[in-house]
Structure 1
């Protein structure tokens, strides 16, 4: 679209002016790219452009003459082979089956991926076509992903919460030849839309045994054996033909603001980024991690699949309900050396710790309070570069801090990460005294994962950190306070959106910068802070652009019994807010229950309320709870920069938002269009005269 506009503008000018303009445009748009051309060798396919939307296309890498961006490109399969040679007999994967942990070495892992690749070829996987994977994290998920790449196809994940229609949309867009599903529930979704998928040739189920046999439907055991007659030489030729600047895998955006887009990531995007990110984050060889976040999300793939492959780590698989309930049980059993979680998971871990402390005696609570004050001072010394610990630290660590960390399985983590959504400073401050520094990071699928990272040596409490080596950030059109759109550059920036040229040119400008759609600012030291999102802006009837997230997070900080908040008021005269309270999650259905969590009940009792259920609070409009929320909101409103940014009306909903309910996305972000539609009548009540 941008090129078309430029061409149309040129055609409307006189011939002599057109010539000058063309020379000017060539200097403007092509000089930068010519200077940064990388070497052309056997690892790269011919390419002149930084982006493509063609499944068989190639891109020119953002290579530089020196520094991290000058590193020679390699494919993901070359990286995997190198790890097998170095760490072949070490454990790569661990999964609990029938109550026992079963491990797979890197050599076995690689062999199983090759077997899967041969089977994909046998079932008709075509070069530059895709394999869709619909299910929870498992060794089979990993093997299907890497096997699809080995066979010359593109793996992509489908969210387990997706409807049949959503599955059909991404499967058609990706030109899917084969779908891998976990169980009968996911299989039924595909069977409903099978006739809509012209490229589909086979379905593989890797979970429980098939309930009924159908044509072109295979169990995992059948699948892994079906390609045994494919010669090694044929597979080796396909692997050798793949180039580092060609597409390796596809990650579909979650569709919270529109139809999902297929983010094409090259081999170089993955391999170069993983090394740079892991080095910046301080990842060591043979780390132990837990796989529980949805693998459809790029952060989970980077953290669970590719970082371990690069550094010979071991990945343990959690139960399917870990994200929705809490991963504490698996953390206590595995005791990982690295861990990443979205803010809601950190809040749940915090809740587990607070529940443990609330059951303590008065003396134990007093000792815990003292120990955490010492721990907080020690953490501040650490992040401020002060090489000393306060008096009494060793005793505080022995009596309290080590035990608290061990109670949630994080006693072997020197640091942890959080991302995908804003996290409150209260949550960060809560974990710092426990010697669990939670380091924020920022990224997106379009840049292969986190591109800015906080480290122990470079840390700001409210910041997402600095760019990883070899990447850059800038703020596009900053306002008087320095806030503007965050733009990103580096070899991790994606190839383009599959079959979506217009969307691609909206995301990538003429010089190749990725426009994130997020609003942020950089401080004098280069630390990035995200302050909002362009597509989440609420534009009032008066025309004022208001980022809702800071308001929502501020109220949650003021009133700790609140679970979720959502500001509404687009094209309205004033802002209003939907509020949910923290409640217990049903361990079977994973639905939010009516019962309030113990910490909320304790909070209510301290204020003089006897409520134990959300329905009690809402139906009686519990004056104590409503007053506490209003007072918290008043404090937030007092800090508003304008009257338009003050929330004037609000209500408590009878049910919390959830993944299964459809109000939360896979990374637990609010799905604002869904909530707006579902609570349309409630919202309209705010604006009745």
Structure 2
């Protein structure tokens, strides 16, 4: 079989085949399928512990050979109930043993795995189900159906699969947009996995066994690559939270709070992957009083050797805090369209091996549109030729819509997304991301900032103060965090609630924020990039409120709709 048989680097057909981006280098990984990957692990590491889920305070554990056999049983059950080739299997649920077995079983059976976010609206779920042509939703108790399907029939289906065919759909879920289906091939998953293992230097038996905790939503490509596929590739052990912990409706919770800390302390992970939200919680106030080993033990990370941040970049203050605890955090950058990973920072590398980055349409500061090339680039958008042609050019380069630059050593700096850019009425185009980061650095009591000003004469800012989080719902409370209260006391302010500072009720806090904005403006490269007006909002942003996506990314469109009146007030005097 020639894995490069596809005539084009992209396709929009679920049963299409793409041309693989195979280079001339000898270190190229040979193309394999997902079933090949897990069968290899089950063969080499059959008796090593693979996965564990906690039910009613006791662990249910599977070795790699048991894991593999459970996936085969799931595949047989899918075939029994009529799963057609290249049709979808919808998996909607919190991270669990059942989730990953359904995921792999669907692929083994020749179907397409489709992870669905639990917090999706009914409309979004309907769009995903119809576009994916789902034959099956999982699950409960259907594994017994596997008994009617022979091993030979399943093996025929597995043997018919090719590395350059689609095996998974990933959706841009949790946004205000209509979900768009991104097709990932077997090779997208297996190559990205191999590249991540090499680039990040994971251990593999007999030299040690990686231990991971899976809590970030597996319907996102980056989380799935690390928690499922990398774990299988290096024969690591993955632990899942109990079903009770899965009832949490907010963003993933931070070490030091609730079920996650309990799991970390119990299973002692060797690699921990988080997102910006969980790296900046109020609970680190206690950790700050500790040093090195005591702090790591308090957070349940005393055996952890790799700390990874997936998603948006971390503020410098957060990075420096963790470094003070002898915890260096390595950043990972990627999109669903590149299988979740592209650039990284680690002791071994700063990008996935054999992948490439270029910058197009650079401005005077050498900042331009980022483009990627490699075997991790997705197949295309399902049934959407127009969007696919806009995203992937004839040479196979993925145009990300992200802005950034490469320094002299080819390190990548991501500055934001072109869709975030603000054009003032003067015609000046401004990137709000660095301005927002400066505000959070200068005014540490601020948790979220959104700069506005599209088609307006000047910039303004919506600010939220750091409020306590309800551990049961994930919603922000009106009580200020201990960090903010401590700052207020230094200012000789007695404020403890958000309502104490709204509408300029606390002149000391108002003056503190005003001074911080002035400091930010002093660093502005032009008059147009200065913040002229600002307001403290009456609620902190949250996933449940819609202001944040599932991975805590700011939903600018939704925030603009929710706080439309506040934004209009900024410009009422200037328009009259």
Structure 1 Cα separation of the partners of residues 13 and 398 of structure 2: 19
The alignment partner of 1:339 has SS state of strand
Q: Which of the residues 356, 362, 376 maps onto 1:478?
A: 362
Of 413-422 and 600-609, deviating more is: 413-422
Q: Which of the residues 69, 84, 89 maps onto 2:42?
A: 84
Residue 179, structure 1, aligned to residue 107, structure 2: no
Residue 123, structure 1, aligned to residue 46, structure 2: no
Cα separation, partners in 2 of 1:589 and 1:353, compared to 1, 3 Å: closer
The alignment partner of 2:334 has SS state of strand
Instruction: Give the TM-score of the pair, scaled to structure 1.
Output: 0.79
Aligned to 1:64: 23
Aligned 8 A contact 1:335 1:410 in 2:
yes
Q: Which of the residues 157, 167, 172 maps onto 2:115?
A: 157
Shift of 1:414: 2.2
Residue 353, structure 1, aligned to residue 276, structure 2: no
Aligned 8 A contact 2:91 2:113 in 1:
yes
Q: Deviations over 1:620-654 (max 9, x none)?
A: 53111111111111111111111111111111111
Residue 296, structure 1, aligned to residue 219, structure 2: yes
The alignment partner of 2:86 has SS state of coil
Q: Which of the residues 146, 149, 155 maps onto 1:230?
A: 149
Residue 454, structure 1, aligned to residue 349, structure 2: no
Aligned to 1:505: 389
Q: Deviations over 1:57-81 (max 9, x none)?
A: 001111022233x321110110100
Aligned to 2:486: 602
Aligned to 2:257: none
Shift of 1:91: 1.0
The alignment partner of 1:669 has SS state of coil
Count of matched residue pairs: 559
Instruction: Give the TM-score of the pair, scaled to structure 2.
Output: 0.94
Structure 1 residue runs without a partner (length 5+): 1-39, 181-203, 205-219, 359-367, 369-399, 459-465
Of 427-436 and 611-620, deviating more is: 611-620
Cα separation, partners in 2 of 1:479 and 1:357, compared to 1, 3 Å: closer
Residue 137, structure 1, aligned to residue 95, structure 2: yes
Of 247-256 and 91-100, deviating more is: 247-256
Aligned to 1:556: 440
Structure 1 Cα separation of the partners of residues 124 and 97 of structure 2: 25
Structure 1 Cα separation of the partners of residues 485 and 252 of structure 2: 21
Structure 2 Cα separation of the partners of residues 121 and 355 of structure 1: 52
1:257-656 maps to which residues of 2 (within 5 A)? 258-285=177-204, 286-318=209-241, 319-320=245-246, 321=248, 323-326=251-254, 327-348=260-281, 351-357=282-288, 400-456=291-347, 466-619=350-503, 621-656=505-540
More helix by share: 1
Structure 2 Cα separation of the partners of residues 356 and 484 of structure 1: 40
Structure 2 Cα separation of the partners of residues 283 and 155 of structure 1: 26
The alignment partner of 1:658 has SS state of coil
Aligned 8 A contact 1:292 1:323 in 2:
no
Q: Deviations over 1:454-499 (max 9, x none)?
A: 11256xxxxxxx3221101011111121100111011111111111
Structure 1 Cα separation of the partners of residues 295 and 263 of structure 2: 16
Cα separation, partners in 2 of 1:634 and 1:329, compared to 1, 3 Å: farther
Structure 2 Cα separation of the partners of residues 344 and 550 of structure 1: 18
Aligned 8 A contact 1:51 1:495 in 2:
yes
Structure label with greater radius of gyration? 1
Aligned to 1:194: none
Aligned 8 A contact 2:120 2:173 in 1:
no
Aligned 8 A contact 2:201 2:348 in 1:
no
Aligned 8 A contact 1:324 1:659 in 2:
no
Structure 2 Cα separation of the partners of residues 57 and 302 of structure 1: 23
The alignment partner of 1:228 has SS state of helix
Q: Deviations over 1:110-139 (max 9, x none)?
A: 111111111111222110110111111111
Shift of 1:258: 3.2
The alignment partner of 1:449 has SS state of coil
Structure 2 Cα separation of the partners of residues 475 and 257 of structure 1: 28
Q: Which of the residues 53, 57, 63 maps onto 1:105?
A: 63
Structure 2 Cα separation of the partners of residues 411 and 517 of structure 1: 39
Structure 2 Cα separation of the partners of residues 224 and 561 of structure 1: 51
Structure 2 Cα separation of the partners of residues 647 and 231 of structure 1: 67
The alignment partner of 2:239 has SS state of strand
Aligned 8 A contact 2:9 2:394 in 1:
no
Aligned to 1:51: 10
The alignment partner of 1:426 has SS state of helix
Aligned to 2:158: 239
Q: Deviations over 1:528-575 (max 9, x none)?
A: 001121011111112211111111111111111111111111111111
The alignment partner of 1:71 has SS state of coil
Aligned to 1:664: 548
Structure 2 Cα separation of the partners of residues 490 and 415 of structure 1: 25
Aligned 8 A contact 2:115 2:170 in 1:
yes
Shift of 1:86: 0.9
CA RMSD of aligned residues (A): 1.5
Structure 2 Cα separation of the partners of residues 545 and 171 of structure 1: 39
Structure 2 Cα separation of the partners of residues 522 and 257 of structure 1: 31
Q: Deviations over 1:336-381 (max 9, x none)?
A: 1001111111112xx32323445xxxxxxxxx6xxxxxxxxxxxxx
Structure 1 Cα separation of the partners of residues 252 and 330 of structure 2: 22
Structure 1 Cα separation of the partners of residues 488 and 273 of structure 2: 32
Cα separation, partners in 2 of 1:125 and 1:295, compared to 1, 3 Å: same
Aligned 8 A contact 2:213 2:240 in 1:
yes
Aligned 8 A contact 2:117 2:174 in 1:
no
